[in-house]
Amino acid sequence: MSRANLAPERLRRLRDRFDLPDLAHMDDSIVNGTHMPAAGEPLPLAMFTAPRVDYSLHRLAHYTATTPDKFQNYVLFTNYQFYVDEFVRLGHELMRATDDPEARAYRSQYIAFCEPGNRVTSNANLGAAASTGELAQRLPQMPAYHLMRADSCGITMVNIGIGPSNAKTITDHIAVLRPHVWLMLGHCAGLRRTQQLGDYALAHGYVRDDHVLDADLPLWVPVPPLAEVQVALESAVAQASGLSGYDLKRIMRTGTVATIDNRNWELREQAEILRRFSQSRAIALDMESATIAANGFRFRVPYGTLLCVSDRPLHGELKLPGMANKFYRDRVDQHLKIGVLAL
């Protein structure tokens, strides 16, 4: 009988038979660099204690509706369901058998595609059996989808929704799996007059106005760009768009991304916030990127951010339903392809 099926009185009796989580052994002092072992005390062997890892593995299953063993070493985060829809379409396409030798060779690197509820579709190109498991009846808070390889070097995509709290929560827990890299693909407000809807913003710095990590990673700690990730993202944009040189620079701008914790910042008095944008040289504004990058720096997980301009509120181009729908159709496919190519 699973714990979910236990009556409340039986749940209360678990503490008589099993150890309960002890918050004294659950903190992040090791990875935060604040752990001070006493004289003669053994030094940590890892960045996380065993109870912390166990806690995160359970949280991952809860938030994503997939078990931790399905997660891959390369992770994409997004804040829009449109990206997930395209990733699901791609995943199922790669699982279908094909007679084209080149396509078959490419598809055969992936063994299965997993969706929330641990619904696993096996790769028909490998002679695998049909799908197993059932799709989750209700999507979890941050559903995850996994394009799986036998060596776990496939791609996981997580829809983290909106806001720095979700971004911190999911990266806190995925970090215990020690992924090779995580990237943020999402939409942003373009802050510069020269930008157009659909342009890309490649972050090489972050303004951390999200505040959710202030106690764990002080604001005076820099969150630097990582050269290998930056080059991979720029190369992927060039390959997906077919552009180079000045033409590539016209659709992709590199600069500072500001991450804020107030989605309705437009309703605030504008002078102070516009001054901050100007002083930081920010080119884009969102609610997740700096959180994901800062937690990547904190947890020693390589990170990167490529955003797509979906509105320009400072220049009168607000995100309206009709404009947004056309924008999503035109740009999401290319943006996701860029993320996959970069990984």
**Least reliable range by pLDDT among 136-145, 202-211, 253-262, 328-337:** 328-337
In this predicted structure, what is the pLDDT of residue 219? Answer: 94
**Least reliable range by pLDDT among 128-142, 151-165, 213-227:** 128-142
Q: Which pair of tokens denotes residue 124?
A: 């028909």
Cα(303)–Cα(229) distance, integer angstroms: 7
Mean pLDDT of 107-117: 96
Cα(257)–Cα(189) distance, integer angstroms: 10
Q: Residue type for 176, please?
A: V
- Residue pLDDT, tens place only, 140-149: 999 999 999 9
pTM, 2 dp: 0.90
Residues of the chain with CATH 3.40.50.1580: 47-179, 185-343
In this predicted structure, what is the pLDDT of residue 183? Answer: 98
**Could you tell me which of 254, 336, 301 has the C-alpha nearest to residue 71?**
301
Q: Which residue stretches of 65-224 are H helix?
A: 81-95, 101-107, 164-174
Query: With DSSP H G I counted as helix, E B as strand and the rest as coil, what are the percentages for the chain, rounded to 5?
Result: 45, 20, 35
3-state secondary structure of 104: helix
Nearest 5°: the CA angle 278, 280, 285 is 85
* Number of CB atoms found within 10 A of residue 290's CB: 28
Q: For residue 5, with 0-12 CB atoms within 10 Å meaning exposed, 13-18 middle and 19 or more buried, which class applies?
A: exposed
Q: Which pair of tokens denotes residue 144?
A: 């995850």
What CATH homologous superfamily does 47-179 map to? Nucleoside phosphorylase domain (3.40.50.1580)
Mean pLDDT of 103-110: 94
Question: Which of residues 310 and 339 earns the better pLDDT score?
Answer: 339
**Least reliable range by pLDDT among 177-181, 226-230, 263-267, 298-302:** 263-267
Beta pairing class for 181-190 and 112-115? unpaired
Bridge-partner residues for 155, per DSSP? Answer: 74, 147
**Least reliable range by pLDDT among 8-17, 169-178, 215-224, 228-237:** 8-17
| Residues in CB range of 241: below 8 A, 6 or more apart | 248, 251, 334
- Residue pLDDT, tens place only, 276-332: 888 999 999 999 999 999 999 999 999 999 999 987 866 656 665 655 566 666 688
Which residue is associated with the tokens 């992924």? 179
Report which DSSP code applies to 309: E
Nearest 5°: the CA angle 167, 285, 188 is 80
Burial 14-48 (b: 16+ CB within 10 A, else e): eeeeeeeeeeeeeebebbeeeeeeeeeeeeeeebb
In this predicted structure, what is the pLDDT of residue 319? Answer: 63
Contact 293, 303 (CB under 8 A): yes
Cα(108)–Cα(125) distance, integer angstroms: 6
Has residue 1 got a pLDDT over 50?
no
Has residue 203 got a pLDDT over 60?
yes
Mean pLDDT of 71-88: 95
Contact 30, 51 (CB under 8 A): no
In this predicted structure, what is the pLDDT of residue 314? Answer: 64
Has residue 132 got a pLDDT over 90?
no
Mean pLDDT of 76-90: 94
Rounded to the nearest integer, the mean pLDDT of the chain is 90
Has residue 251 got a pLDDT over 70?
yes
Mean pLDDT of 236-244: 95
Question: Which of residues 156 and 14 earns the better pLDDT score?
Answer: 156
Which fold would CATH assign to domain 185-343? Rossmann fold (3.40.50)
Cα(219)–Cα(315) distance, integer angstroms: 30
3-state secondary structure of 242: coil
In this predicted structure, what is the pLDDT of residue 274? Answer: 82
Which residue is associated with the tokens 């004294």? 24
Cα(142)–Cα(158) distance, integer angstroms: 6
**Least reliable range by pLDDT among 125-139, 202-216, 252-266, 313-327:** 313-327
